[in-house]
Structures are given as structure tokens and as C-alpha cells.
Amino acid sequence: MLKVVLIVGVLLLVVILVLIFRINTLFGVVKKPEKKIESLSNKINGIMFLVFLVIFGTLFFWYSYTYFDEYTIPIASEHGAVTDNLFWITTAVTGVAFVILHVLLFFFSFKYHYKEDRKAFFYPDDHKLELVWTVIPAIVLSILVFTGLKAWSDITSEAPSDSEIVEIMGYQFAWKLRYPGGDDKLGSYDYRLTMAINPMGVDFTDQNSLDDFSPGQMYLPKGKPIKFQIRARDVLHSVYSPHFRLKMDAVPGMPTSFWFTATKTTEEMRLETGNPDFNYEIACAEICGQGHFSMRLIVVVLEPDQYKKWKSEQQSIIQREPDLMRFVPDNLKELALIKSGLEKSPKANENINSVNEVSASM
Amino acid sequence: MVTADIHVSEGLSDHAEEHDDHHQNFWTKYVFSQDHKIIAKQFLISGIFWALMGGFMSLIIRLQLGFPEMSLEWLRPVLGGWITEAGKLDTEFYLAMVTMHGTIMVFFVLTAGLSGTFANFLIPLQVGARDMASGFMNMLSYWFFFVSSVVMLVSLFIGTGPASGGWVIYPPLSALPQAMSGSGLGMTLWLVSMAIFIISTLLGGINYITTVINLRTEGMSFSKLPLTIWAFFLTAVIGLLSFPVLFSACLLLIFDRTLGTSFFLSDIYIGGEALPNSGGSPVLFQHLFWFLGHPEVYIVLLPALGITSEIIATNSRKPIFGYRAMVGSLLAITLLSFVVWAHHMFITGMNPFLGSIFMLLTLIIAVPSAVKVFNYLATLWRGNLRFTPAMLFSIGLVSYFISGGLTGIFLGNSAIDIQLHDTYFIVAHFHIVMGSASFFGMIAGIYHWFPKMFGRMMDEKLGYIHFWLTFAGVYMVFFPMHYIGIAGYPRRYYSFTNFDAFNSFTDLNMFITIAAIITMFAQFLFLFNFFYSMARGRKAPPNPWGSNTLEWTTPRLPKHGNWPGEIPKVYRWSYDYSKPGAKEDFIPQHIPFSETPESNFPHEDAQIKLRAGDDEAIVIEDKE
């Protein structure tokens, strides 16, 4: 019933509006058969541009200023400070241009609205002026480009050799992580080896894989270069962490990487933001299917010594899923038992070294 | 020139016969018409239909984003099973809406609806031709577009839903039906529809180019072409060079989907099985897509800029400032548009060195764009502005072009793009500079050439209200998205509640949605005005805006063939507004200098003498 009333109401409203419009136009025809160009509405439109300029200009400055802390997010990486700096330089340059050009546009629109007794100024070109306003943007843009190029090549340069390596694999709809174990080397992988107990397709015939571990949450050390090795298992994803100013696509069949240095631990960030529940997050930034909006991964940044401690406590992939031992070739089985931590001998470390030597000589 | 003359006279005799006996029936006159004016109207009406579809899709998207808690049960009569039992929008259908909104707006509204309408309508009328070079191909162009529209429309109603992988349809998502249901039949239909669409665009484009090159009337040298024609011409050139690349990308994707090839697929484990594909590269698809995709931005923008150049000059009663610079910047944009595509791919894992190159080239393209803005401002300066609705929308376009162009400087900088890529900052940027600016160009064009299209005037007051609501509305919708983008919110997210980082701004999102609804409904004012004026509007005088271009020398409702008698010759450029000494504040292109001794410049007087003895003098004048 309510729906019917609504529909009838809307229809009536439309009919009334149309009638008003019709009456208005009929009056218009009777009142002024010859339309003058220098009309009231022409003037009003001119004034409206000024009104628009004032209202929207005020809104722009008011919101940008008042809500600054809401729409800017703290920086937690070294390169983030650089790119944010570039962002604000560009904002300053474009902001000035934005304001000046709009003031001119709307002011001219107001000032030069039609007057019967004025004739427009015949001004087809002015080469000097045109040259000036071609060269100025060119110079300003060149400066922006060159600062940008420097930052870009620094950010995308080769990761330092002492970087902490973390592998991130995107899949529908979450992330899997892999860290190298004590040997600091990630083992190889092959997507054809993927199965329920080996979701990342780790190749256990590679002895470097034997001590790799795969935690559910990401832990990172502060102040140390970190290299993300990024890949995807099914469709495109994109590793995106707003606070680290970090984004890199995860592409099936084409591993990518991104390195950065975190500058604030989670604890420090909690203090800074005043939010005791603050957590760094990784999100997906490339459309990947219906769960695209839910690929959340929590990242915890620790002090370096805390990180070392955390890392030493992790169980390897094989240790968590001993079934995987059947994929380890016979000649590595003994090594696997030790490296993965399945068999804890008091002399574990020595053993690893000696077996390493044995296998290396084999 | 000689060839052009032959064509023109042939065309004249053909059509003159056609006029004498009206053998055309309803079907050949209004449906399978070969008249460029009818075809233009067909494109226009189809474009309006698609704009409404795309607009409503954006409202569905905005409702979800602005009122995530709201029950959408009331949409069930329209959306059926896409509303879940809990009364929420299906997550995959949300992505389908995002995808179809983008596809429809970019291709069907702002490419076919804009270029198709105005290039078709204005090229023959403004260059002084009886019709397009090939009326038959022109008709085919529309009907291919129609078929492609039908296929796309059908894809909205199938059980597995339309294509849902984003309008960029990146594989593997778009290649694997296992990845999402929209990648099944919906994606197939998308690809088929786009393949047909590309054929339509190419047929149209070849015609536009040929007509501009060969069918210009006597005296209409390239240096006298109105900027509209320059823009349509270069748009067609861009389309002709870039659409085939999308065609090839679509074709290869079809192969990957059906024949088991591996152009774009490699190392994939999905749905519990490892696929045999190996060696392909998803990034290759992105290169192919954006080789069209970026020029496409200019395919939608250049016609709008051409239209506004004409409208601003006419209604400022001033010559467009720096005609040569305007043409030059159009040419520069055309050229550069082909070498900037990979700025969409800075963070796809592409070689960072390539990123540097593309960043450099991208920021270069800002220079001709800046020149255009300055020239618009200089045209307004000391003008005598008549605020017709078309003029208002053109000024609106310049404002959007400034706002959206400036944010492009952020995004073209690869270092800044790391953070802003695929956030709402991008959404804000391209909706303002490409979406709204081109849309405003299209609306401005409709208001301006409505009298020529339908022989009647649109209501101005309704036009004013339409403009102010839309102009403010668009800013209210898209400007706040910059803030949301700076805060890092990623695009194509169904909801933001999963993340601590993206969980504020509910109020701002609500505000945007309300603004979008108001803006959308303001368009009904336009629709009413459009259809009402078509039937009941004031009858249009022959040259309602006091404009210089040739289309206003035709009768009120030109028949097929455009001019009843001879095609007027052209003697001057189209921007002789408020010329010092002239009796009126405009001198149309077909008025010879010999008739306007009071306003001629010395070099123009010299041309009269040259022409007096020898008609070939035109050639000399061209070189001037």
C-alpha cells in the first residue's frame, strides 16, 4: 500500500512540475517574443560562478585543513618519507596552480558576462605569451620529474644483500608467508607441487626448503632492510600496505619484489596514533574476485632483538606437517629431520653443519 | 583539391536526384539510414540509453559504499537473485557492476555516444560535405555498435552474471571461469561485444578520416578547419591505430579461454588443480590493453575539447586564443598518447627502468594539456560571454580539466604512484578529468547543436538548473574521493570493514552517495528538456548562437545532402568573432573578404586581389 502511495505521489509531483514548466514557457512566449542576450539570467549565471568559487573554495580549504589528521596516515618506512615528501611538494605546486586557474576561470566568467555595449577584444594569438606558458609548465614539470626519477630509482634499486627475506604468496582470498630458516635461504618452489598440506608448492627436494617456516602473521624487524618476494598462485593480487607506502603486484608466473625498511615498531605506532589496537596491515590492491576486499594480513614490526627471538621460536613447515617428509628425497631425509627441527639432538647445530658439508661434497 | 572537387560535384548530383523523388520509406530513412545526421541521432539516443544504464549501476555501487548496513531488499524486483537472502548486494555482483559501469561509460557512452554522435553530425556539416565519404559504411558502423550493445545488454541478464573482472579485464582473473562466475559466459559475451564494438569504431573512424581529408568544401584548408573537426579527425586517427591492439588482446584472450593457449597464463593453481599453462605473461595483456587504454582516454577527451573550443569561442564572441597552438597541442597529445601507456603499470613488476621512461613521457603530455587550459582562459579574457547552457557546460569542462589534470601530475610520478595506485585518488582523478569532462563536453554539444539536430531550441532555464546541479554535484561526488584516496582506501572494495586502516570516512562515503543520487536525478531535468524540446521547443532560428561555422548555413532541418543548392565556399577561418571594424560581432566562414572591406586586415585585402583573377589562388592562400 505504502509503495502505491509513494509511486502515485512521485507521479503527481512529476506531473505538477511539468505543468509549472509548461505554464512558465507559455508565459515566456507571451511576455517577451524577442529574447535579449543581455538578460537577467546571463548576469545571474555570471555571479553564480563567483558564488561557486567562494563556496567551494572555502569548503576545499576548510576540509583540507580541519581533517588533515584524518586523511593523512603516519609513515612507517624510510622510502615512505621520501615519497610523501614528493607528494606534498607536488600538492604545493599543483595546489597553487589549482587555485590561481580557478580564480581566473570563474572571475573572468563573472567579469566578462555579456553587455550589449561592449565588444569582445579581438585577440587571436600572442606568440610571446604562448611561449611563456609553454615553457613555464615544462620547467616546473621537469623539476618534478627529476626529483621523482631519483626517488623511483632508489626505491626500485637492488635490495641490500643483508635484507631479511620474506616470501608472500597471494591466492584467493588470503596471503601465505614463507621465511627462510636458519640457513637464510628460501628453498625453491613449483606451482605443480601445490596441495592442501603444501599450499605454497614448496619444493622439498631443495635442501634450502627444509628449514623454511610459514607463519600465519607477518613479523618484521625495525630498521633493517626487508625484501618481499612476491608471487601469486591463481590470479593477480597486489601486496599493499598503506603505512609502509608499499605496493607491488603479485603475478602468477612472474615473481616480483619490493624492499623497504620499517621505521616504527607496532608498539611505537600504537603510542603515536594513540590507538592501543593499532596493527599494520597488508591488503590486496588488485581486483582478484569476490573476496578481494577481505585479504587482510596483520603485520607486526618488532625491535630487532625481539624479532630474532621470534624467528628462533618458529616451527618449520615440515615440523608442522611431518607428512611432508615423504616428499624429501632419501639422501636429504637425515638432513631434513635435523634442519626442520623434527629431531632435536643436543648437537643439532653441529650436525647441520657436518651434514651440509657432506651433502655439498656429494 | 582537385580530387575533392570531383567528389563534391559527384555527391551533389547523386543527392540532388534523391531529393527530387522521396522514395525513402520508414526503414531506409530512420532505421537503416545512410544519412550522417540520422546516424548521429541514432548514436546519441543509444548513448543516452547507455548513460542511464551506467548511471544506475554507479548508484548501486554508491549505495553499497555509502550505506553498507542498508537493506537492499527493495532492489530485489530489479536485481533478483543478486540480492542475498540477508538483503545485501552479492559481493561478486558488486564487482560486476563496477566492471559494467566502467565498460559502458568508457566505450558505449563516451566513445560511441560522443564521437559517434558529434563526429557523424558535425564533420560533413562543418567541412561542407553532402555526407560522409561512405554512407553505407557509416550505417554499418552504427549497426555493428547496435549489435555489440545488444550482446553487452544480454550479458547483464545471464545467470552467472556479466563480466566482473574490472573494465580492464586483466587475466588470469578474466581468463579462468574457476576464478569468478563472471569470468564464464559473461566474459565471453564481453569479449564478443567488444570485438564487434571495435569493428564499429574502425568503420566509423575510417569514414571520419576520409571525409575530413577528401570532402572539404572549396577553400576549407586544414588551417581553416574548426577545432571541432581537428579534434574528431585526430580522435579517429588515435582510434584507428589503437583499437586494433585491443582487438588482438581480446582475440588472444579468447584463445587462452577456449583453445588452451598460454599467451597470458602461467604457473596457475586454482580450484584444487594445477593448470598446464606455462610461459605466458599476464603483464603482456596489460601492455596490450593499455596500448589502447591510454589513447582511449584521449579518444573520449579530445572530441569534448574540440566541442568546447568551438562553444567557448562562439559564446565569448572572441576568436579562440592561439588556434595554431590549440591544433599543435591536439597533435602533440595525439602523438604522446601512444607512448605513455605503461604509467598504468608502474607497480605491476614491470622493469623499473621502463617505469622511469614512461614517467618522463607522461609528464611531458601535461605541457600541451596546460597550453590548452591557458588558451581557454585567454579566450574568456575580455570576451563578451553569453551563458547559454552549452557555454556553462564548457566552462564546467575547463574546470574539471584543470582539477583532474593537476591530479594527473601526482599519478604520473611513479614514486608517488606507489601509494596512490588503485586507491580512490585514481578514481577521483579519472572520473573528473576523463569521465566528467568528456561527459560535460557531450552535454555541451547537445545543448549547442540541438537546434541543428531537431530544429528547435532547448529550454535555457532548465539548462541552467541542470548545469548548476550537475557541476556542483560532480565536485561533491568526486572531490572528497581525493581525501579518501590519500588516506589509502583501495578501489573496487565491496566494503571497508575488514581493515582497521580503512574503517573511517563512513560519513564522507555517505555524503558522496547522497551527492551522487542528487546528481543522477538532476539528469532527468536534462532528459525531460531533451525530449520535450524535440517536440514542443521553440522553433530554432537559422543561426541561434551567431556562429561562424558552416552548419548554420543549412536550412533549419537539412535534408539528406545538407545544402539544397550549392555547397558554400569557405573564405576565412571560423573564428572571426568581434573583428575590429566589422558590422556584427561575427563573420561566418562563407563570407568572402571582398564583402567585408571594413574589417579586413592588410593581408586579407591582398588575398582579394590574388583571387580576383584566378580561382587557383586558394592554393597560394593555403601556404600562407
Read off the pLDDT of residues A207-238 as tens digits, 9 standing for 90 and up: 999 999 999 999 999 999 999 999 999 999 99
Q: Nearest CA of chain A to the CA of B39: how many Å? A: 30
The answer to whether residue B203 is domain-embedded is yes
Which domain range does residue B150 map to?
A: 2-18+30-388
Closest residue in A to B317 (Cα) is A120
B605: its cell numbers: 585585402
Peptide bond before residue A173 is cis, with ω within 30 degrees of 0: yes
**What confidence tens digit (pLDDT) does each residue in B383-420 have?**
999 999 999 999 999 999 999 999 999 999 999 999 99
Percent of chain A past pLDDT 70, that is, above it, reads 92
Residue A181, pLDDT score: 87
pLDDT for residue B622 is more than 90: no
The answer to whether residue B407 is domain-embedded is no
Q: Indicate the residue of A172, A194, A238 with minimum beta-carbon distance to B422.
A: A238
Residue A122 and residue B413: Cβ atoms within 8 Å?
no
How far is it, in rounded angstroms, from Cα A53 to Cα B569?
Answer: 44
Left (φ > 0), alpha (ψ -120 to 50) or beta: where does B352 sit?
Answer: alpha
* Chain B residues touching A62 at Cβ < 8 A: none
**What confidence tens digit (pLDDT) does each residue in B555-601 have?**
999 988 899 989 999 999 999 999 998 888 899 999 999 998 888 88
Interface test with B, best of A25, A37, A45 (most B CBs within 10 A): A45
Residue B180 and residue A194: Cβ atoms within 8 Å?
no
Residue A94 and residue B496: Cβ atoms within 8 Å?
no
* Chain B residues touching A194 at Cβ < 8 A: 269, 274
The answer to whether residue A12 is domain-embedded is no
Residue B499 and residue A283: Cβ atoms within 8 Å?
yes
**What confidence tens digit (pLDDT) does each residue in A280-311 have?**
999 999 999 999 999 999 999 999 999 999 99
Instruction: Give the mean pLDDT of B263-273.
Output: 94
pLDDT for residue B372 is more than 90: yes
* Chain B residues touching A245 at Cβ < 8 A: 418-419
pLDDT for residue A5 is more than 90: no
Closest residue in B to A85 (Cα) is B416
The answer to whether residue B297 is domain-embedded is yes
Q: Nearest CA of chain B to the CA of A142: how many Å? A: 8
The answer to whether residue A5 is domain-embedded is no
How far is it, in rounded angstroms, from Cα B343 to Cα B358?
Answer: 6
Q: How many helices (H) and strands (E) does chain B have?
A: 20, 2
B592 has a chain A CB within 8 A of its CB: no
Alpha-carbon distances, residue B113 vs A104, B59, B131, B448 (angstroms): 32, 21, 19, 16
**Chain centroid to CA B397:** 13
Residue A238, pLDDT score: 96
- DSSP secondary structure code for residue B115 in this structure: I
Residue B410 and residue A94: Cβ atoms within 8 Å?
yes
The answer to whether residue B592 is domain-embedded is no
Q: How many other C-beta atoms are found inside a 10 Å radius of the C-beta of residue B129? A: 27
**What confidence tens digit (pLDDT) does each residue in A232-266 have?**
999 999 999 999 999 999 999 999 999 999 999 99
Environment class of A344 (CB within 10 Å of its CB; exposed 0-12, middle 13-18, buried 19+): exposed
Q: Indicate the residue of A138, A145, A291 with minimum beta-carbon distance to B359.
A: A145
The answer to whether residue A93 is domain-embedded is no
Residue B384 and residue A120: Cβ atoms within 8 Å?
yes
Percent of chain A past pLDDT 90, that is, above it, reads 74
B363 has a chain A CB within 8 A of its CB: yes
Residue B6, pLDDT score: 39
Handedness of CA B341, B343, B347, B353 (dihedral sign): positive
Residue A3, pLDDT score: 76
Q: Are B400 and B444 in contact (CB under 8 A)?
A: no
From chain B residues 364-423, the ones with a CB under 8 A of any chain A CB are: 364, 366-367, 370-371, 373-378, 380-387, 392, 395, 398-399, 402-403, 406-407, 409-410, 413-416, 418-419, 421-423
Closest CA to B395 of B442, B440, B438, B434: B440
Domain containing A210 — which CATH number? 2.60.40.420
* Chain A residues touching B475 at Cβ < 8 A: 56
Residue B269 and residue A233: Cβ atoms within 8 Å?
yes
Give the ipTM. 0.91
* Chain A residues touching B65 at Cβ < 8 A: none
Residue B198, pLDDT score: 96
pLDDT band at A30; cut points 50, 70, 90: low
Q: Are B254 and B191 in contact (CB under 8 A)?
A: yes
How far is it, in rounded angstroms, from Cα B621 to Cα B603?
Answer: 10
DSSP class per residue in A227-267 = EEEEEESSS-EEEEEGGGTEEEEEBTTB-EEEEEEB-S-HH
* Chain A residues touching B483 at Cβ < 8 A: 63-64, 67, 70-71
Residue B106, pLDDT score: 96
How far is it, in rounded angstroms, from Cα A163 to Cα A227?
Answer: 6
For chain B, how far is it from start to end, CA to CA, in angstroms? Answer: 16
Instruction: Give the mean pLDDT of A165-173.
Output: 95
A18: its cell numbers: 511539468
pLDDT band at B612; cut points 50, 70, 90: low
Q: Nearest CA of chain B to the CA of A287: how many Å? A: 7
* Chain A residues touching B102 at Cβ < 8 A: none
Residues in chain B: 624
Q: Are B50 and B149 in contact (CB under 8 A)?
A: yes
The answer to whether residue B251 is domain-embedded is yes
Q: Which amino acid is at B371?
A: V
| pTM > 0.90: yes or no | yes
pLDDT band at A29; cut points 50, 70, 90: low
Q: Are A257 and A165 in contact (CB under 8 A)?
A: no
Q: Nearest CA of chain B to the CA of A319: how many Å? A: 24
Q: How many other C-beta atoms are found inside a 10 Å radius of the C-beta of residue B167? A: 19
Q: Are B448 and B388 in contact (CB under 8 A)?
A: yes
From chain B residues 257-316, the ones with a CB under 8 A of any chain A CB are: 265-270, 274, 278-283, 316
Task: Please state whether beta strands A174-178 and B273-274 pair in parallel, antiparallel, or not at all (unpaired).
Answer: unpaired
**What confidence tens digit (pLDDT) does each residue in A320-329 have?**
999 999 999 9
How far is it, in rounded angstroms, from Cα B8 to Cα B219?
Answer: 13
**What confidence tens digit (pLDDT) does each residue in A85-141 have?**
999 999 999 999 999 999 999 999 999 999 888 889 999 989 999 999 999 999 999
A101: its cell numbers: 586557474
Contacts of A287 (CB under 8 A, 6+ apart): A236, B95, B98, B165, B166, B170, B173, B492
Q: How many other C-beta atoms are found inside a 10 Å radius of the C-beta of residue B301? A: 26
Rg of the Cα atoms in chain B: 25
Residue B621, pLDDT score: 47
How far is it, in rounded angstroms, from Cα A285 to Cα B208?
Answer: 40
Closest residue in A to B271 (Cα) is A234
Residue A234 and residue B179: Cβ atoms within 8 Å?
yes
The answer to whether residue B505 is domain-embedded is no
Residue B92 and residue A289: Cβ atoms within 8 Å?
yes
The total number of structural domains that make up chain A: 1
Closest residue in B to A277 (Cα) is B500
Q: Indicate the residue of B472, B483, B492 with minimum beta-carbon distance to A292.
A: B492
Residue B494 and residue A292: Cβ atoms within 8 Å?
yes
Beta-carbon pairs below 8 A across chains A and B: 339
Environment class of A250 (CB within 10 Å of its CB; exposed 0-12, middle 13-18, buried 19+): buried
* Chain A residues touching B172 at Cβ < 8 A: 234-236, 252
pLDDT band at A356; cut points 50, 70, 90: very low
Residue A348, pLDDT score: 46
Query: Which residue's C-alpha cell is 579527425?
Result: B233
Q: Nearest CA of chain B to the CA of A90: how many Å? A: 7
A155: its cell numbers: 626505491
Closest CA to B179 of B86, B265, B60, B64: B265
The answer to whether residue A3 is domain-embedded is no
How far is it, in rounded angstroms, from Cα B397 to Cα B303?
Answer: 12
Peptide bond before residue B172 is cis, with ω within 30 degrees of 0: yes
pLDDT for residue B210 is more than 60: yes
**What confidence tens digit (pLDDT) does each residue in B50-108 have?**
999 999 999 999 999 999 989 999 999 889 889 999 999 999 999 999 999 999 999 99
Residue B386 and residue A114: Cβ atoms within 8 Å?
yes
DSSP class per residue in A127-149 = HHHHHHHHHHHHHHHHHHHHHHH
**What confidence tens digit (pLDDT) does each residue in B497-509 have?**
999 889 889 999 9
Q: Which amino acid is at B552?
A: W
Q: Indicate the residue of B95, B173, B483 with minimum beta-carbon distance to A236.
A: B173
Closest CA to B402 of A66, A313, A189, A103: A103
Interface test with A, best of B178, B409, B426, B543 (most A CBs within 10 A): B409
Which domain range does residue A290 map to?
A: 164-349
Residue A202, pLDDT score: 94
The answer to whether residue B393 is domain-embedded is no
* Chain A residues touching B176 at Cβ < 8 A: 234-235
The answer to whether residue A321 is domain-embedded is yes
Closest CA to B194 of B235, B264, B246, B129: B246
Supply the mean pLDDT for chain B.
91
Q: Indicate the residue of B461, B498, B505 with minimum beta-carbon distance to A296.
A: B498
Q: Where is pLDDT greater, at B376 or B17?
A: B376
B161 has a chain A CB within 8 A of its CB: no
Residue B384 and residue A134: Cβ atoms within 8 Å?
no
Residue A52 and residue B472: Cβ atoms within 8 Å?
yes
* Chain A residues touching B267 at Cβ < 8 A: 191, 252-253
Residue B280, pLDDT score: 93
Closest residue in A to B173 (Cα) is A235
Angle between helices B437-454 and B282-316 (to 10 degrees): 50
Q: Nearest CA of chain B to the CA of A336: how many Å? A: 26
How far is it, in rounded angstroms, from Cα B97 to Cα B93?
Answer: 6
User: Strand, coil or helix: what is B456?
Assistant: strand
pLDDT for residue B257 is more than 60: yes
pLDDT for residue B379 is more than 60: yes
Percent of chain B past pLDDT 90, that is, above it, reads 83
Instruction: Give the mean pLDDT of B306-330.
Output: 95
B97 has a chain A CB within 8 A of its CB: no
Bridge partners of residue A213, in order along the sequence: A179
From chain B residues 497-536, the ones with a CB under 8 A of any chain A CB are: 498-502, 504-505, 528, 532
The answer to whether residue B105 is domain-embedded is yes
Helical H segments across A67-125, by residue range: 68-71, 78-111
Q: Which amino acid is at B610?
A: L
Residue B452, pLDDT score: 95
**What confidence tens digit (pLDDT) does each residue in B174-191 have?**
999 999 999 999 999 999
Closest residue in B to A158 (Cα) is B352
Residues in chain A: 362
Closest residue in B to A240 (Cα) is B419
Environment class of B117 (CB within 10 Å of its CB; exposed 0-12, middle 13-18, buried 19+): buried
How far is it, in rounded angstroms, from Cα A151 to Cα B207?
Answer: 47
The answer to whether residue A235 is domain-embedded is yes
Domain containing B209 — which CATH number? 1.20.210.10
**What confidence tens digit (pLDDT) does each residue in B428-442 have?**
999 999 999 999 999
Left (φ > 0), alpha (ψ -120 to 50) or beta: where does B142 sit?
Answer: alpha
User: Strand, coil or helix: what is A312?
Assistant: helix
